[in-house]
Amino acid sequence: MDLALINAKSISGKYPYEEIEYIDTSSVTGNEFNPLQRLKLIDAPSRAKRIVQHGDTILSTVRPIQRHFGFIRNPKPNTIASTGFAVITPKNINPEFLFYYLSQESITNYLNGIAETSTTTFPAFRPEVLSDLEMVIPSDEKVQRRIADILSALDYKIELNRQTNATLEAIAQAIFKEWFVNFNFPGATGEMVESEMGMIPEGWRTGKLGEICEFAYGKGLKSEIRVEGKYPVVGSNGIVGTHNDYLAEGPGIVIGRKGTIGEVTWVHQNFFPIDTTFYINDLLGVNDLYFHYFLLKEQDFKKIGSDSAVPGLNRNQAYVSLVVIPAKDIINQFNDITKAMFADIYNYSNESSTLATIRDSLLPKLMSGEIYP
């Protein structure tokens, strides 16, 4: 690849920063970045070596089919990527065009095919493979920029929707804490009574989590039949596919039982929770599950032990966790307020799915010249 440098900059003895913002391969999927780890350089893993800059593309060399790639935009000067990435620095090509070119499904499949033939512990390819990659691209930089602008406009709206959804959920969570942790809820008189968990509002009580909800077991579903259907398939770390049938009526809540233990996922529609999860049934007789969702997110399920040799969440141990149980009318008021916010989240998510489909459809056609911008 004469158009870019591969792994051009790495930390040396003269590196000026004592702390780093660290990107590991789990930090980004499909150009969506999780919050970065802030680490002291002396405590950072040995793989924290690659220096990145604005306009770089990072692409995981391990299991490329998992799409751990992203475009670096205005990073902090102390941002460092794992050596599990190839860091691709453009020379004579529009930076965003290069990113979108490399994010094509055909490129991902090509790199994954090479990785699968490797003799390493995990499927991986050497960064030199990218140096040898032949690319057919528009010679006019203006055309490259127009293509990048079209695709980045779609991604910008998708990211804006994601941020809006995060803000809406954060607002709902702040209301939950104000009402059910700080006890500043509508109609609060300030009259408190003693309980096992300290002072709580009069008319509320303490109880066990098992009085509020049931943890029902998900069901096994082979990965090869999670690829097509109307209903989301939900695993311990979120949606892992779709299926034509559903197991639980939504909206609903899924909790990681094995794998990502204790991860709490809200599902907006009927869904199929697989056997690495529990899904939640209400036992209070309230009007929705939004209160349950935020209450469960407050629990530290990772500290709850397992009675198995394989790490996992034991529901019987989760059931005995002590919690404050509010008056049902306050729970229902909270659910009514939160329902409108989550309806907006659902709509923004659907819009983003549509935009992503459009982007993925346009991408190969723009790159091949089938569509000229």
166: enclosing H helix or E strand: helix 141-180
**For 357, which DSSP code?**
H
Which pLDDT score, from 0 to 100, does residue 104 have? 95
Residues 157 and 221 grouped into a single domain:
no
Contact partners, residue 325, CB within 8 Å, separation at least 6:
204, 205, 206, 207, 211, 212, 284
Which pLDDT score, from 0 to 100, does residue 310 have? 67
Which pLDDT score, from 0 to 100, does residue 308 have? 59
Domain assignment present for 196: no
Look at residues 307, 325, 343 and tell me which one is the last residue of a structural domain: 325
Contact partners, residue 232, CB within 8 Å, separation at least 6:
239, 241, 242, 267, 269, 271, 272
Which pLDDT score, from 0 to 100, does residue 309 have? 60
**For 227, which DSSP code?**
B
Domain assignment present for 194: no
Residues 93 and 146 grouped into a single domain:
no
**How much is the pTM?**
0.88
Structural domain harbouring 44: 4-137
Cα–Cα dist 325/43, whole Å: 42
Phi, psi of 44 (to 5 degrees): -70, 150
Residues 133 and 151 grouped into a single domain:
no
Domain assignment present for 198: no
Which pLDDT score, from 0 to 100, does residue 121 have? 83
Determine how many CB atoms are found less than 10 A away from the CB of residue 156. 12
Residues 25 and 125 grouped into a single domain:
yes
Token pair, residue 300, equals 């530290």
**Residue found by looking up tokens 């968990």 in the block:** 197
**For 212, which DSSP code?**
H
Residues 239 and 287 grouped into a single domain:
yes
Look at residues 306, 325, 344 and tell me which one is the last residue of a structural domain: 325
Domain assignment present for 67: yes
Cα–Cα dist 81/284, whole Å: 47
Residues 347 and 314 grouped into a single domain:
no
Which pLDDT score, from 0 to 100, does residue 307 have? 53
Domain assignment present for 249: yes
Which pLDDT score, from 0 to 100, does residue 227 have? 85
Cα–Cα dist 117/174, whole Å: 50
Neighbour order of strands in the sheet with 272-273: 238-243, 231-235, 272-273
Look at residues 137, 164, 195 and tell me which one is the last residue of a structural domain: 137
Give the CATH number, domain containing residue 160: 1.10.287
Q: Please state, in angstroms and as integers, the Cα–Cα distance from residue 221 to each residue in 96, 250, 265, 267, 274, following that order.
A: 38, 19, 18, 18, 6
The SS3 assignment for 205 reads strand
Token pair, residue 278, equals 């529990």
**Do strands 19-23 and 28-29 pair parallel, antiparallel, or not at all (unpaired)?**
unpaired
Number of compact structural domains in the chain: 3
Determine how many CB atoms are found less than 10 A away from the CB of residue 31. 19
Domain assignment present for 190: no
Residues 320 and 340 grouped into a single domain:
no
Q: Give the HSE-up count for residue 294: Cα atoms under 13 Å, Cβ half-sphere.
A: 23
Residues 210 and 160 grouped into a single domain:
no
**Digitized pLDDT (tens) for each residue of the chain, 373 residues in all:** 689 999 999 999 899 999 999 999 989 999 999 889 999 999 999 999 999 999 999 999 999 999 999 999 999 999 999 999 999 999 989 999 999 999 999 999 999 999 999 877 889 999 999 998 989 999 999 999 999 999 999 999 999 999 999 999 999 999 999 999 999 999 999 999 999 999 999 999 999 999 999 999 999 999 889 988 999 999 998 999 999 999 999 999 999 999 889 999 999 999 999 999 999 999 999 999 999 999 999 999 887 765 556 689 999 999 999 999 999 999 999 999 999 999 999 999 999 999 999 999 999 999 999 988 8
Residues 64 and 100 grouped into a single domain:
yes
Residues 307 and 345 grouped into a single domain:
no
**Residue found by looking up tokens 């691709």 in the block:** 88
Cα–Cα dist 185/202, whole Å: 12
Question: Among 135, 145, 27, 157, which Cα is nearest to 96's?
Answer: 145
Domain assignment present for 192: no
Domain assignment present for 193: no
Determine how many CB atoms are found less than 10 A away from the CB of residue 329. 12
Residues 147 and 229 grouped into a single domain:
no
Which pLDDT score, from 0 to 100, does residue 211 have? 97
Question: Among 343, 299, 331, which Cα is nearest to 175's?
Answer: 331
Which pLDDT score, from 0 to 100, does residue 280 have? 98
Give the CATH number, domain containing residue 298: 3.90.220.20
Residues 114 and 30 grouped into a single domain:
yes
